[in-house]
Amino acid sequence: MALKEEFLEVRKRILAHHESMEEHSQTQKLIDENSKNVRRLLDDIPVYNPKNRKLVGFWFLASAFMVLLTISMAGIGRMTEAGLNLVDFEKFRGSFPPLTLNRWKDEYVKYTKRPDFVLNTTKLTHPNQTYPTRVMKLSEFEIGVVGLAMNSIGMDPCGSTDKDFPRIKHYRLSFYLISGFSLYASLLWAGLSTIFEPHNLAVAHKTRLRAFAYFTTGALFFTFVYGTLVAGTDAGLIYNNWPFYDTTLFYPPKFFELSPWWRNLFDSRSTIQWFHRHAAYFSTFCVACLWLYAVNMNIGIRGKMVLHALLACTMVQGILGVLNLWFRTPALLAILHQNTNVLIQTAAIWFCNELRNH
């Protein structure tokens, strides 16, 4: 009996082992099938190609260029007062200029009901007179929600410099331009980082140079922010005897005149121009020091070209700023001043990108 029980126990173990082997075999088959499916999926994925990476980078740069055109057209629309005479603004489908005389007349009838026609003393008398400004406005692709808000609720007839002419409120104009530039800077950085591989810079004080470049870029951006407030409040139309403020040299007569004090930072034209002037002085000084600090370092040919471009554009921008004050911001000089600022910011961002880590 003992021998028989032992035999049955061994037989049971053999059967259990056989069943486990069958389960293992089935499991192995499933693993093999899944491996084949994974290999098939991996084979469908395109092999990495450096050319594909560069194509993505150029796509980023093309997108950045489109945003740059938007910012430029927004500035032109502001300088030529074309920002408020688009009578029909389709938020999602866009708008097209009238192609026949009758359509122009219909548009002109709608334009006569606009606040800028009702309040403005120099009304347009013929529909074709609106063509240049309308074309510029129609060419401006609004940047998301900010652009929609500017066109729908941005009218500010009471807070504008000229009480008889409505304007876009300067807060919204500044936020619109800053948002557009931030998007441009992000796309530019992504494009440059994708196209150009980082390289080892033979610089002993690379960390210090990178920090100095970032600080200078921040100073330039602060100057740009106050430049948008100058454009929005027409602060360039006062104190047109640079380097003086009427009869004073260091600060304007109506410096920090509003209460509470923080309102002067955003609403007082005198304070806004003072901050923009001195931010320009400081950022120009930073750019000059950065150039002197980095020009003799081994930062590569591309890095030196960008550094020279940054210095040259900054010098030109300073001259344009002074001319804008002396001649009370004519449209052409104002547009050049704005677009030169974009070149400065582009060069500064590019130079920082040259110094990025691996």
- Residue with the larger pLDDT of the pair 311 and 156: 311
pLDDT at residue 44, rounded to an integer: 58
Q: Where residue 121 falls among pLDDT bands split at 50, 70, 90? A: very low
- Residue with the larger pLDDT of the pair 221 and 265: 221
pLDDT at residue 20, rounded to an integer: 62
83 in a structural domain: yes
* Alpha-carbon distances, residue 233 vs 160, 272, 294 (angstroms): 7, 9, 37
H/E segment holding residue 189: helix 170-195
Average pLDDT for the chain: 75
pLDDT at residue 13, rounded to an integer: 65
Tell me which residue range forms the domain holding 128. 50-197
120 in a structural domain: yes
- Is it the case that residue 349 has pLDDT exceeding 90? yes
User: Is residue 213 domain-shared with residue 324, that is, in the same domain?
Assistant: yes
Q: Where residue 310 falls among pLDDT bands split at 50, 70, 90? A: very high
**Which of 168, 197, 226 is a domain's end point?**
197
**Which of 169, 197, 225 is a domain's end point?**
197
Percent pLDDT > 70 in the chain is: 62
Mean pLDDT along residues 79-108: 62
- Residue with the larger pLDDT of the pair 240 and 148: 240
Mean pLDDT along residues 249-263: 82
- Is it the case that residue 100 has pLDDT exceeding 60? yes
pLDDT at residue 328, rounded to an integer: 85
pLDDT at residue 62, rounded to an integer: 92
Residue 180 and residue 338: Cα distance in Å, rounded? 13
User: Is residue 78 domain-shared with residue 120, that is, in the same domain?
Assistant: yes
Mean pLDDT along residues 240-265: 83
User: Is residue 211 domain-shared with residue 113, that is, in the same domain?
Assistant: no
- Is it the case that residue 256 has pLDDT exceeding 50? yes
29 in a structural domain: no
Mean pLDDT along residues 260-273: 86
User: Is residue 170 domain-shared with residue 204, that is, in the same domain?
Assistant: no
Total number of domains in the chain: 2
- Is it the case that residue 285 has pLDDT exceeding 80? yes
User: Is residue 138 domain-shared with residue 240, that is, in the same domain?
Assistant: no
The answer to whether 345 touches 221, Cβ cutoff 8 Å, is: yes
Helix (H, G, I), strand (E, B) or coil at 202: strand
User: Is residue 207 domain-shared with residue 192, that is, in the same domain?
Assistant: no
Residue 316 and residue 300: Cα distance in Å, rounded? 25
4 in a structural domain: no
User: Is residue 165 domain-shared with residue 210, that is, in the same domain?
Assistant: no
Closest CA to 280 of 238, 236, 232: 236
- Is it the case that residue 288 has pLDDT exceeding 90? yes
User: Is residue 220 domain-shared with residue 337, that is, in the same domain?
Assistant: yes
Q: Where residue 49 falls among pLDDT bands split at 50, 70, 90? A: low
Closest CA to 329 of 148, 146, 161, 214: 161
User: Is residue 192 domain-shared with residue 205, that is, in the same domain?
Assistant: no
The answer to whether 268 touches 256, Cβ cutoff 8 Å, is: yes
CB burial readout 264-298, b (16+ within 10 A) else e: bebebbbbbbbbbbebbeebbebbeebbeebeebe
pLDDT at residue 133, rounded to an integer: 42
Task: Tell me the DSSP string of 279-344.
Answer: HHHHHHHHHHHHHHHHTTSB--HHHHHHHHHHHHHHHHHHHHHHHHHHTT--HHHHHHHHHHHHHH
164 in a structural domain: yes
Mean pLDDT along residues 48-70: 82
Q: Which residue has the tokens 């100057």?
A: 223
pLDDT, tens digit, for every residue of 168-196? 677 777 888 888 888 999 999 999 988 88
**Which of 197, 222, 241 is a domain's end point?**
197
188 in a structural domain: yes
> For the whole prediction, is pTM greater than 0.85?
no
Percent pLDDT > 90 in the chain is: 22
Which of 136-145, 146-155, 179-188 is predicted with the least confidence, judged by mean pLDDT?
136-145
User: Is residue 204 domain-shared with residue 135, that is, in the same domain?
Assistant: no
Mean pLDDT along residues 39-68: 75
User: Is residue 210 domain-shared with residue 339, that is, in the same domain?
Assistant: yes
User: Is residue 212 domain-shared with residue 348, that is, in the same domain?
Assistant: yes
- Is it the case that residue 11 has pLDDT exceeding 80? no
16 in a structural domain: no
36 in a structural domain: no
Mean pLDDT: which of 128-142, 247-261, 335-349 is highest? 335-349
